[in-house]
Structure 1
């Protein structure tokens, strides 16, 4: 069961990463026209569609590489709980990040870093919501590996980094962990029921 889920997780995150690279190649071939067309433009109605499309777009190969590697690792780990939980974690992070940028952002914003921060936050807090020591141990290991990411939620003036995308993506990940926390089992069973699979 776990081996099959791991194969599905790997296939899913690799296909998603490949999609990001295909979109990037098309975008580069068109002179980055898609950035102007589909990036998030804060507080402009015409930029609202960027909430959906902006995470698929990146400024250059370096920007995309910096998001691809953590997406592969964090996405794989999140998917091991099941496709539905993965979809909720990604979807909540994606939407929260995009809406946060649209409301509070400072300029045209693109990139999947909000989803990266969302998955990171989801994986960090879900074990505490679920009272699951294995998930907490994984959170500690992830914090050791990627803990410096958390600085990205703080304002960084004079850079092209969207701390708003990072902050609201992380909040979306925390919300996803709360939405997906295991429900208490009926009295007398001593078990917790999963929320979604």
Structure 2
């Protein structure tokens, strides 16, 4: 009678990839619904604004005008015409999907930081006039994707950042006052918000530094 071979020891399961280092959304369908749903909402708002003869055009950010403080909330959802909205929609879809790789909870947190930084920054340093549009979010998500791999120390995310830079890196000139009538302040402050969000995400996935032992 031949001896029965001993079973091979079970391999320990691989540890899960930390949310801050993922490159693929954990729930792609949910991410697609959230990102496309937000962009679709922007188109609905612009359609209503057009039908009503553009009553929303003055509801953006009015720099240093405290009576219009709520424009910080509404500005990213308002646009000055279909061309303005169309120019922001495709980058929002692409960058938004890439930014959901850490999960929707992280995505909402990152978006909130960018939203607030773009709004408050424009309120403080913006030029005279009304500032509106989702381009602050676009620049924030762009900068977030470009630097998060460095903060999270993820090679795969750095490779994704290279691809994003090749695709949209030219847009970074928009953080400078190069084109009259364009809110470069919103672009710049949104980009700063994206870097801040990337730093916070990276900090959350790095292991804590070991504390030095104290001899009694």
TM-score by length of 2: 0.82
Q: What residue is the counterpart of 1:195 in the other structure?
A: none
Quote how far apart the aligned CAs of 1:84 are: 1.4
Which position in structure 1 is the counterpart of 2:197? Answer: 176
Matches of 2:107 and 2:25, distance apart in 1: 17
The within-5 A match list for 1:1-197 is 5-36=27-58, 38-106=59-127, 107-156=129-178, 159-181=180-202, 182-185=205-208
1:190 equivalent in structure 2: none
Stretches of 4+ aligned residues off by more than 6 angstroms: none
**Unpaired runs of 5+ in structure 1?**
188-197
Contact 2:25-2:101 at 8 Å conserved across structures: no
- What do the CA deviations read for 1:6-26 (whole angstroms, capped 9, x no partner)? 111111111000100011011
Distance in structure 2 (CA, Å) of the matches to 1:53 and 1:135: 31
SS at match of 1:180: helix
Give the superposition deviation at 1:55: 0.5
1:156 Cα deviation after fit: 2.5
Tell me, which stretches of 5 or more residues in structure 2 are unaligned?
1-23, 211-216
Preserved CA contact (<8 Å) 2:126 2:185: yes
Query: 1:184 is paired with a residue of what secondary structure?
Result: coil
The structure with the largest helix share of the pair is 1
- Distance in 2, matches of 1:3 and 1:41, equals 36
**What is the RMSD of the two structures over their aligned residues, measured on CA atoms?**
1.6
Report the 3-state secondary structure (helix = DSSP H, G, I; strand = E; otherwise coil) of the residue aligned with 1:59. coil
